[in-house]
């Protein structure tokens, strides 16, 4: 396809104008985790989400490592989103309805051409939360993390796999699809149906994208002061050495945050499968 030109793009509602470095479609477990890693590596990252993660239907999340007695899945989802915001991820509510190639004004950077997607690559058509308005978002790279909907990929020549009522996106084992600059994470990539698997895959895909963007990036580690420098080494890109004073300050802040998160029962009511109740959002009556 010919692709859109930069002059076609109308930016709507974002805090910064222009072309995003990363657009993540879907703010569930995989998408938010991918976004966490791309943003922490310094890439300008926008998550567009419509609806809610299916994890919010879970009754009590008991197999996510690090929570010995389990955790309310809605609280977990809230904490994950807060973590992304704190690390610089931008969020918009809206349904991605279309995705096509995008060319910069000089005609370069069409992701279909097999280049390294170093220029603008894609433009997404996004419906507003109310459904009465659409706008466009341009991005160099896109992560598909929208389990249950990949219809918006119809305009791209991306390899898909049908399995019953489900459609999965083919990838190379690291989340790269058949279209340069387009990645897939979580259930949409047919990973196992557990939150930790989607989170792990989201992280892997985010890191793959960071490497492909040629951002200087090491392991995204926070280490004690002197860990590298006392051995005569530079602190690698993407790593940070923190003093003991700073470490304690961060620990205190995390303790305060967790005390607040876990101070009372989560306010959101439990859902069940929408087909089981008349209420279309599938809520369970409170006791
Ligand atoms: C009832 C139930 C219980 C479960 N219990 C457990 C459990 O105990 N332990 C466990 O590990 N896992 C459990 N899971 C599975 C776990 O929730 C999923 O494996 C995980 O959420 C998949 O992550 P994901 O990011 O791929 O998809 P999701 O978390 O579903 O995220 C996809 C996001 O994309 C959004 N989206 C979809 N289309 C679009 C679009 N066009 N534009 C923008 N956004 C879009 C969706 O609304 C959603 O927010 C359970 C699932 C269910 C249904």
Digit-coded pLDDT (tens) for 152-186: 999 999 999 999 999 999 999 999 999 999 999 99
The pair of three-digit structure tokens given for residue 137, joined into one six-digit string: 């978002």
Cα separation, 234 vs 221, in Å, equals 14
Q: Which residues of the chain have pLDDT under 70?
A: 1-17, 103-120, 131, 280
Cβ neighbours, 10 Å, residue 72: 21
CA-nearest of 44, 49, 187 to 129 is 49
| pLDDT for position 106 | 52
| pLDDT for position 183 | 98
**Per-residue pLDDT tens digits for 179-234:** 999 999 999 999 999 999 999 999 999 999 999 998 988 899 999 999 999 999 99
| pLDDT for position 235 | 96
Is domain 4-212 classified as CATH 3.90.1710.10?
no
Domains in the chain: boundaries: 4-212, 218-287
Instruction: Evaluate if pTM is beyond 0.75.
Output: yes
Judge if the beta carbon of residue 199 lies within 6 A of ligand 1.
no
**Helices vs strands, H then E, count in the chain:** 4, 12
The pair of three-digit structure tokens given for residue 105, joined into one six-digit string: 């004004």
Cα separation, 273 vs 105, in Å, equals 47
Read out DSSP for 133-195? -EEEEEEEEEEE--TT--GGGGGS---EEEETTEEEE---SSSB-SSTTEEE-GGGGT--SSH
| pLDDT for position 191 | 97
Pocket test for ligand 1, best of 64, 146, 188, 272 (most atoms within 8 A of CB): 146
């Amino acid at each position: 396809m010919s692709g859109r030109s930069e002059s076609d793009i109308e930016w709507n509602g974002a805090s910064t104008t222009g072309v995003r470095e990363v657009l993540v479609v879907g703010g569930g477990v995989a998408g938010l985790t991918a976004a966490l890693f791309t943003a922490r590596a310094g890439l300008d990252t926008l998550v567009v989400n419509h609806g809610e993660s299916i994890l919010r239907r879970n009754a009590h999340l008991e197999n996510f490592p690090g929570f010995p007695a389990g955790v309310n899945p809605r609280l977990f989802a809230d904490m994950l989103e807060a973590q992304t915001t704190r690390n610089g991820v931008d969020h918009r509510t809206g349904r991605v309805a279309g995705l096509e190639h995008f060319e910069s004004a000089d005609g370069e950077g069409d992701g279909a051409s097999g280049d390294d997607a170093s220029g603008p690559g894609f433009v997404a058509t996004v419906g507003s939360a109310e459904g009465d308005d659409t706008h466009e978002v341009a991005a160099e790279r896109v992560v598909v993390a929208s389990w249950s909907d990949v219809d918006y990929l119809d305009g791209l020549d991306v390899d898909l796999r049908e399995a019953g009522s489900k459609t999965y996106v083919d990838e190379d084992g690291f989340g790269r699809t058949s279209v340069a600059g387009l990645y897939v994470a979580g259930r949409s990539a047919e990973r196992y149906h557990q939150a930790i698997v989607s989170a792990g895959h989201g992280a892997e895909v985010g890191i793959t994208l960071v490497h492909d963007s040629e951002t200087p990036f090491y392991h995204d580690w926070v280490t004690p002061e002197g860990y590298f420098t006392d051995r005569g080494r530079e602190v690698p890109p993407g790593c940070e050495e923190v003093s003991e004073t700073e470490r304690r300050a961060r620990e205190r802040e995390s303790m305060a945050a967790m005390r607040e998160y876990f101070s009372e029962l989560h306010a959101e009511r439990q859902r069940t499968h929408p087909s089981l109740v008349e209420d279309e959002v599938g809520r369970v009556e409170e006791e």
